[in-house]
Amino acid sequence: MNPSEQAQPGLRLLARGEYAAAVSSFETALRAHPQDVDSWFGLARAQLALGKPEAARTALARTVALAPGHSAAQALIASLEDDGGSPEVLKRLASLAQAPGAGFIEHYAHAQALLRRGQDDEASKSLRAALTLQPESPQALVDLGQIALRQGRADKARDAFRVASGLAPGEWMPRLLHARALMALRHFAQAMTVLNEAVAAHPREVPLQQARFECALIQGEPQKALEAAQALETLKPGDANPLYQRGLALLTLGKLPEAAQALQESLRLAPEAIEPKHALAQVRTAQGQQGEALSLLEELQRAAPRALEPVLDLSRLYLAEDRTAEAERVLRALSAEHPEEPRVNLNLALALFKQDRKPEALSFIERVKASRDASLVEQARKLEAQIHGAPLRPPLIRG
């Protein structure tokens, strides 16, 4: 059934994402036509899009009072009642979606309820049913993409987010998700292109700058990471994290004094934070200040004995100083949380070897040999050969 004439201007605004203007249009229509069902329902949808559930409830109540069989309105009412745990609400939404003539909203509301319950496979079916009725729905495509990403199907996620981005050119979230999917596929250059375009259109969106920082750092472009960190500092003044990110970018660029200054400022704002303290320890190590690096890493190990990267760095420094018993102690604690981590196992094997506990070392070497990291496997084999008497130097200590 075609919508009423008076509702059509508001529906066009709604379709363009101009939700506040849509509310005004529907309210104007309802002043002249207070019994118009389509305007009440359109008003409810616009209020929901603006994050005003109570106003939406009022408009939905008027919709079903005027049209008791309005299944789309009933689906939205059920969605507003849904806490993610009520089997009765889920059953009602399923019934509305399965009824003859069910539309996009009924299927989409059912999918949302399934997502709230973690039922991704069933939600995918409902979302596809919704898309057969409204193929150009960016929100349904985004939801399908997020399911695919959770299920490790980054290629499918990328495709869904790319189409959603084209359908909603004024929205930044689909572009961010598109970039995240590309990063999961290790297509970092493409991801950076998507993020740069999104940032150009939405320069004040923190999640975009955050993703840009991460992508640049992984891609090996610390100067771009530094630019993103500086943008985040502007967007989040007084926040410790952008300072940490600036420090990390400067560390990667080899600008050690500047990195230390930024990281110390970050720690002043967040003295218990692990990441900036670890990065500062890395700066001190690079500056040859091993004593201060050790102090920072020991402090971190006491606070977070199972934090992988800081404790690995600590074990590396202990091993370099032949403090093998201490290296073993911190690595044993770490191994309880990361029993299959090859770097932990390699460093443990080396600590045991240096203590002349060769049979124990061999058990950890076997774990390393199962790794997919060819470099680590090679080092493990060299250590194994030395245990068996071959005149080889021990492997480098991996941090």
* Lookup: tokens for 137: 């729905």
3-state secondary structure of 398: coil
- What is the chain's pLDDT, residue by residue, as a tens digit (399 residues)? 688 999 999 999 998 889 999 999 999 999 999 999 999 999 999 999 999 999 999 999 999 999 999 999 999 999 999 988 889 999 999 999 999 999 999 999 999 999 999 999 999 999 999 999 999 999 999 999 999 999 999 999 999 999 999 998 889 999 999 999 999 999 999 999 999 999 999 999 999 999 999 999 999 999 999 999 999 999 999 999 999 999 999 999 999 999 999 999 999 999 999 999 999 999 999 999 999 999 999 999 999 999 999 999 999 999 999 999 999 999 999 999 999 999 999 999 999 999 999 999 999 999 999 999 999 999 999 999 998 875 445 555 544
Contacts of 147 (CB under 8 A, 6+ apart): 115, 120, 123, 124, 127
CA distance 233 to 245: 9
Backbone angles phi, psi at 134, to 5 degrees: -140, 80
Q: What gap in Å lies between CA 393 and CA 399, rounded to an integer?
A: 18
Task: For residue 164, give the amino acid letter.
Answer: A
Residue 388 is predicted with a pLDDT of 87
For residue 355, count other CB atoms closer than 10 A to its CB. 14
Q: Decide: 339 and 331 in contact? Cβ < 8 Å.
A: no
Q: The whole model's pTM is what?
A: 0.85
- Residues 6 or more apart in contact with residue 2 via CB below 8 angstroms: none
For 345, residues 6+ apart whose C-beta sits below 8 A from its C-beta are 335, 364, 365, 367, 368
How many Å apart are CA 296 and CA 99, to the nearest integer? 63
Give the separation between CA 204 and CA 236, rounded to whole angstroms.
10
Backbone angles phi, psi at 232, to 5 degrees: -65, -35
User: What distance in Å separates the CA atoms of residue 34 and residue 263, rounded to the nearest whole number?
Assistant: 61
Place of tokens 């939405």: 202
pLDDT of residue 394: 52
Whole-number pLDDT of residue 392: 43
* Sequence-distant (≥ 6) Cβ neighbours of residue 1 within 8 angstroms: none
Q: Strand, helix or coil at 399?
A: coil
Alpha-carbon distance of 142 to 123, in angstroms, equals 13
Question: Measured at the alpha carbon of residue 321, what is the angle toward residues 316 and 324, in degrees to the nearest 5?
Answer: 70
